[in-house]
Amino acid sequence: MSAARTGDILTYVALVALGVFFAVPFAWLISLALRTPAEVYLGAARFIPSEPTLGNFATILSDPAFLIYLWNGLKLSALGGGLAVALAIPAAYACSRIDFRGRGAVMVSLLAVQMISPLVILVPLYRWMNALDLLNRDISVITIYGALGMPLAVWLLKVAFDAIPREIEEAAEIDGASRLDILTRITLPLARPGIASAFILAMVMNWSQFLIPFVLLERDADWPISVAIFNFAGSVSASTTQLLAAACLVAVLPAVTIFVLLQRMIVSALIAGAVKG
């Protein structure tokens, strides 16, 4: 057996092991969500419930408070993702079309900023929002979501803009179009898959955020689903474990659904620049 063949086999084995590592906890979560309170209370070790039920999902979805938490999470995530894309478009377009000194350093700096955990800046953010009287307001969370999602959006949109031939813009410029007209009427429509991908990824990142809304939103009516589940988990008992599992699955469902339905568009947008090169 050749070394290349052996390397491929080891790679696939490692990928399968990694997939199992992440899939088993998720499968156990599904098992818990389908159990009755009696099975959870008795600590049944079997993986497949003896009497599977969807009643846990019906219970949480019939709770108006849970639906409000879902709506809060969707609202904050979507608006934060939209803000990130809106801020990233001019920056990405400038880095793609203008050959200025330090362009590479700017892109690397954005990537470095993306690596900073929100935990590092949490205390300054809280003090800043408190000084601006923006605590317990959606605008505070949305603004921070937009700032945190902008670096990744700039990278994705630069790839999308790089994939658009400059000759198209040059032809429009010869016809008398301004730079703003070229951007809004030509470049942005052609970059729609990349823009949509950047928005979706930013929105999914925002959906999973916990620390920012947990610190800045104190009223439970304003909480997104991530914070609500955390507070529910703090008071969970054996009789409500199955409800917590069902709530976690419902909370994960939007992000998983988006990736499954739009994965082809996201991947094509991510590799567009590489294909062009």
Per-residue model confidence (pLDDT) at position 45: 61
Mean pLDDT of 4-20: 84
- The alpha carbon dihedral of 44, 45, 46, 49 has a sign of positive
Q: Which domain holds residue 120?
A: 64-224+250-276
Residue 237 domain-assigned (yes or no): no
Residue 100 domain-assigned (yes or no): yes
Q: Which residue has the higher pLDDT, 107 or 141?
A: 141
φ, ψ (nearest 5 deg) of residue 73: -65, -40
Q: What is the pLDDT of residues 66-83, one digit of tens each?
A: 899 999 999 999 999 999
**Distance (Å, whole) CA 45 – CA 33:** 14
- Is residue 160 within 8 A of residue 95, CB to CB? The reply is no
Mean pLDDT of 191-219: 90
**Distance (Å, whole) CA 195 – CA 77:** 16
For residue 150, the tally of other CB atoms under 10 A from its CB is 24
Residue 163 domain-assigned (yes or no): yes
Per-residue model confidence (pLDDT) at position 26: 86
- Is residue 160 within 8 A of residue 193, CB to CB? The reply is yes
Give the CATH number, domain containing residue 198: 1.10.3720.10
**Distance (Å, whole) CA 63 – CA 44:** 27
Residue 179 domain-assigned (yes or no): yes
**Distance (Å, whole) CA 149 – CA 141:** 12
Residue 208, amino acid: S
Per-residue model confidence (pLDDT) at position 11: 87
Percent of the chain with pLDDT over 90: 29
Residue 158 domain-assigned (yes or no): yes
Residue 22 domain-assigned (yes or no): no
Residue 159 domain-assigned (yes or no): yes
Mean pLDDT of 53-59: 88
**Distance (Å, whole) CA 213 – CA 226:** 9
Would you say residue 275 has pLDDT above 50?
Answer: no
Tally of domains within the chain: 1
Average pLDDT over the chain reads 84
Q: Which residue has the higher pLDDT, 250 or 38?
A: 250
Residue 43 domain-assigned (yes or no): no
Q: What is the pLDDT of residues 239-250, one digit of tens each?
A: 578 888 899 998
- The alpha carbon dihedral of 102, 153, 185, 262 has a sign of positive
Q: What is the pLDDT of residues 101-136, one digit of tens each?
A: 888 888 888 888 878 888 888 889 999 999 999 999
Helix, coil or strand: residue 82: helix
Of 55-64, 199-208, 238-247, the one with minimum mean pLDDT is: 238-247
| Length of the chain counted residue by residue | 277
Q: Give the torsion through C-alpha atoms of 32, 36, 42, 43, to 10 deg.
A: -10
Q: What is the DSSP letter of 51?
A: S
**Distance (Å, whole) CA 241 – CA 237:** 6
Per-residue model confidence (pLDDT) at position 277: 45
Would you say residue 206 has pLDDT above 70?
Answer: yes
Site of tokens 């092991």: 17
